[in-house]
Structure 1
Amino acid sequence: MTNALLVIDMQNAFLHPDGENYYPAAAEVIAPAQALIAAAQQSETIIVHVADTHRAGFKDYEQVRLPEHGIAGSFNAEFFDGFGPQGGREIEIIKRRYSAFFGTDLALFLREQGVDGVVICGVKTNVCVRATAQDAFANGFKVQVVREAVNTNREHLGAAALEDIERYLGRVISQSDALEVLG
């Protein structure tokens, strides 16, 4: 199986204390996600850095449920220090919905590269991580979510999302198993 690493929303909005969607537990995924990225870089695995980014001054359907956020060019939309494409086999996908697949060319890109499985890390487990896992499954990719490299500010919803992912969409794997998969 050929995997790609999907790094979801590791942006200032969630990870920086001044971020508009910051929650303290988000910091717990920084080191595990960086370790996954390092392993993927070493093995030349494709890394997709996903950014939740929206256009200033335009309505966006997410605003039905959420306030305006992640405006392109803003501090909040920027990748947090140590994240974002570093060259090589790394790309950025901008998304305007919870899923990295919805309305983007991510599935097409991965298929063109011969990828048939995804390893997912990032924030937030019950929203963007779960939506991405569900759409990865719907697009025919084998899904693996790294338990230590995802979290949310709604712990009970995060646990429920991981249970759903394990039961219906793919596997929830440990950090050590993920490092082996990417190595």
Structure 2
Amino acid sequence: MSEALLVIDFTIDFVADHGKLTCGKPGQQIEPAIHALIEQFSSEKQLVIYAVDLHEENDPYHPETKLFPPHNIKGTDGRQLYGSLQQQYEQIKTHSPVLYLDKTRYSAFAGTDLDMQLRARNITTVHLTGVCTDICVLHTAVDAYNLGYQIVVHEQAVQSFSSEGHTFALNHFKNSLGATIL
């Protein structure tokens, strides 16, 4: 196993119409592509990582508190995976290599043991999916690049709040990080 799939922040709060910080329809439209990639990776017994934003309610020390409305609050339904991904996660975790990773910063690497988990499994390539292309996916990609991982971004499985931010990030992945865009 030298590759892993990261599903970044694909939660109710980031994707559902009633989510607290939703990218809405653009995020909802990528659900089938993410679902299919999870099926592919899990059927091949490759690692699937769900990197999920975690916040404490009214945390005055978290930098996002000043930037965004409260979202992905510990213990709320907003942290559940969106749509079919929650049920899919429940099904595959019993027979496939899966990690559910709480993260408190944009990057899935910041303040987590993700790098250690990947290296323990000899993973050299990370496939990135989820939201938001120009925030959490981008920051995860930059950290992956700085740690020496090969990066694959699945264009039909990432999305953001704005098409401008989404397009900027896709170009940055390719032109500044040497990522493969599929």
Aligned length: 174
Q: Which amino acid aligns with 2:144?
A: A
Q: 1:112-158 CA deviation, whole Å, 9 max, x = no partner? A: 11101100001111111111111111111111111111111210111
Alignment of 1:26-175 (within 5 A): 26-59=27-60, 60-84=62-86, 85=89, 86-87=92-93, 88-174=96-182
RMSD: 1.4
- Structure 2, gaps ≥5 residues long: none
Structure 1 stretches of 4+ moved >6 Å: none
Instruction: Using the aligned pairs only, state the percent identity.
Output: 29
Q: Residue 179 of structure 1 corresponds to which residue in structure 2?
A: none
Q: 1:81-135 CA deviation, whole Å, 9 max, x = no partner? A: 3325431201111111111001111011100111011000011111111111111
Alignment of 1:11-30 (within 5 A): 11-22=11-22, 23-30=24-31
TM-score by length of 1: 0.90
The answer (yes or no) to whether the contact 1:123–1:129 under 8 Å persists in 2 is yes
For residues 69 and 15 of structure 2, the distance between their equivalents in structure 1, rounded to whole angstroms, comes to: 18
When residues 57 and 66 of structure 1 are mapped into structure 2, their CA distance, relative to the original with a 3 A threshold, is: closer
When residues 83 and 70 of structure 1 are mapped into structure 2, their CA distance, relative to the original with a 3 A threshold, is: same
- Structure 1, gaps ≥5 residues long: 175-183
For residues 68 and 6 of structure 1, the distance between their equivalents in structure 2, rounded to whole angstroms, comes to: 24
